[in-house]
A and B are shown apart, each in its own frame.
Chain A
């Protein structure tokens, strides 16, 4: 029996919904095998991964806290990826957002006013946009590859944060450790669910996802982005500006990454540290693709990704599983999710070896 992939005449509508289910099933089956080989009770391990983290109110809230930056950046990046603009440097834009917004918090640390937080958010967004403007300018003016420029700027951003925290912005009462002051209450995001860490950023994230969905499916800009991404020549003929699309994509990605960075420091962290993100800007790229570059898909992909992180911690605590197993399991999940998407544009065909009736001469 031979198995081959045959391109479908058009994308399968059913597969759009069925493929994630198949992927989840395959992940579970490989997970069971993996845990069985390791001598761990698979049912217990899967429970620890997918159920235990969200058995409490606090756990649900943490899911939102962890997913906030992933969804926020993932949604914004998916717009650029639709347009064929490859912004790989969201991590750096996130860092600049945290620096600019956090800088306001440190500057106004004695000011008790309701205007501090909005000002921080605006500056965070502007910071991220400014950082993304560099690759946008280099791309539109000199046709420099935005993958390289945005990625390299990430390292510059990290060092800039490090410079500030080790120098001018160091907590004067902090024994010379590289941390900033703790932000005042008026510079901290309000908690929207008492007794947890779920903050205002979660609501703004949902709002952002809806806004991007409206933008992409209901507006002319969204249409332009899709046309330029799929057929740049046709787009130009229709009078759409490629450069404007590049600028728009990078400004949106940078602005929302900057906002995500500000939400981290003004939310769960509450101060500026040398390391504010465990790579959300990069993970969000995976989230965007797992979510098939659609805001609703990205939203759920962000939640799944966040759950896999919480599950990894929970598996270490309740099952004493090493961190490496978490990594393998996360990899399996992502692999199957992306691999099963092949079924949307291709179908499997089974070919049985033809035992020919005609002309089967025994030689």
Chain B
């Protein structure tokens, strides 16, 4: 036995050293300084079929249209690890780095300060600098279209909303949805379940089941997995896809889906870096620019409902309608926005209250 162990201890290193001599480790070369290199930091796995998946589609569009090299790091926790990953991208020859979740804001700002020659773009945050842009999409415009469809198709007038975290972005989406829904069906209500996660198929699915059991006949979500839609499909109710076309998971249940379309934004901003014209910007685009897009309507959406939804889309594009134009009542039924007034972006960005028709308490 001893002999075998000694033999192993001697043979193993010899085999390994021999292997490395035979196939010399070509140390990965540093990215070409002349070419443009693009880095992405993702909060979820690229296969989440939602938020991260759509950013990755944008990354692929950059490679395809501009022929540049891109790198991504997936499932990076929003905490102490983010700064290291962002910094590693900055030191390994990346010219522009997109950090695609709110929790990366402070780490991105810190690294941006240390690397003034590298461009940074942070999704959904509010800290900007000369080399740090922010970008986000007016998803609430899309929610207003979904709400309109739900108003026409919900028989019980109860919609189940699976929400992630009570941040302004999510609260705004809930409010925009029910405001539009009540324009069609004034008695409609939305029940909200917070799952405290962006991506947790198990919890999301359970929340969908609970909401259907409480009378919801349409499910919508602000979380990233297709699980709620799959539950809707099984239970024979309707739902909306989130971030990407999820009809493959729920061919009958999906009425339509909001599609996050980052492709044009990513391509144009990387192109600007290549041409030396990149500038720090603050982008918040909606349906008009195509950043908020839609999946094809499902079979359950009849022609007149399609027409109604298209009309809302069109009115948002031409500016004749704003999802947050008055009159708007708060949960207590008091009017907080008068007829003819519209909430401005400053209020929308901080939104932490529910409008009338939302059931449940916020905080």
> A320: which B residues are within 8 A, CB to CB?
71
User: From DSSP, what is the main secondary structure of chain A's interface residues?
Assistant: helix
Q: Is A278 a contact of B77 with CB atoms below 8 Å? A: yes
Q: Which residues of A contact B25 (CB under 8 A)?
A: 43-44, 46-47
Chain B residues within an 8 Å CB radius of A47? 25, 27-28
> Is A177 interfacial (CB 8 A cutoff)?
yes
Contact of B167 with A42 in the complex, beta carbons under 8 Å: no
Complex CA gap A198/B334 in Å reads 53
Cβ-based interface call for A322 (8 A): yes
Residues A176 and B103 in contact in the complex (CB < 8 Å), given A47-B27, A273-B78, A322-B74:
no
In the complex, chain A residues 140-186 whose Cβ is within 8 Å of any chain B Cβ: 159, 162, 166-167, 175-179, 182
Indicate if B196 sits at the interface (CB-CB under 8 A).
yes
Contact between chains at B79 and A275 (CB < 8 Å): yes
In Å, the complex CA distance between A14 and B2 comes to 10
- Enumerate B82-139 residues with CB–CB distance to A below 8 Å: 83-85, 87-89, 91-92, 102-103, 106, 126
- Flag if B28 contacts A44 (CB, 8 Å): yes
Size bracket of the A interface: 35 or more
Complex Cα distance A275/B8, Å?
A: 45
Q: Beta-carbon contacts of B13-31 to A below 8 Å, as 1s and 0s?
A: 1011001100111111000
A277 contacts chain B at the CB level, 8 A cutoff: yes
A241 interface residue (CB < 8 Å to B):
no
Asked whether B350 lies within 8 Å of A273 as measured between CB atoms, the reply is: no
A273: chain B residues within 8 A (beta carbon): 78-79, 103
- The minimal Cβ–Cβ distance linking B164 to chain A, given in whole angstroms, is 11
Contact A197 B79 (CB under 8 A): no
B20: which of A43, A159, A270, A274 is its contact (CB, 8 Å)? A43
Q: Are A313 and B73 touching (Cβ within 8 A)?
A: yes
Whether a CB of chain B sits under 8 angstroms from the CB of A212 is no
Q: B201 contacts the other chain (Cβ, under 8 Å)?
A: no
The answer, among A167, A178, A268, A316, for a CB contact under 8 Å with B83, is A268
Question: Smallest CB-CB separation from A162: which chain B residue?
Answer: B196
Which residues from A are CB-within-8-Å of B83? 197, 268
Which chain B positions have C-beta within 8 A of A270? 106
Residues of the A chain whose Cβ atoms lie less than 8 Å from the Cβ of B13: 25
Task: Report how far A316 CA is from B165 CA in the complex, Å.
Answer: 29
Report the Cα distance A309→B87, complex, angstroms.
15
Within 8 Å of chain A (Cβ to Cβ): is B351? yes
The verdict on A318 contacting chain B, using a C-beta distance below 8 Å, is yes
Closest 10 CB pairs of A and B: A43-B25, A25-B12, A268-B80, A278-B77, A176-B352, A316-B73, A318-B28, A323-B74, A176-B168, A47-B25
A residues whose Cβ falls under 8 Å from a Cβ of B: 14-15, 18, 21-22, 25, 28-29, 32, 41-44, 46-48, 52, 56, 58, 62, 65-66, 159, 162, 166-167, 175-179, 182, 197, 264, 267-271, 273-278, 309-310, 313-314, 316-320, 322-323, 347-350
**Residues of B with Cβ closer than 8 Å to A?**
1, 4-5, 8-9, 12-13, 15-16, 19-20, 23-28, 39, 45-46, 71-81, 83-85, 87-89, 91-92, 102-103, 106, 126, 165-168, 196, 349-352, 363
- If A18-B5, A159-B196 are given as contacts, then 17 extra A-B residue pairs at C-beta distance below 8 Å, sorted by A number, are A22-B12, A25-B16, A42-B23, A52-B28, A166-B166, A175-B168, A175-B350, A176-B167, A176-B352, A197-B83, A270-B106, A273-B103, A274-B196, A275-B78, A309-B81, A323-B75, A347-B1
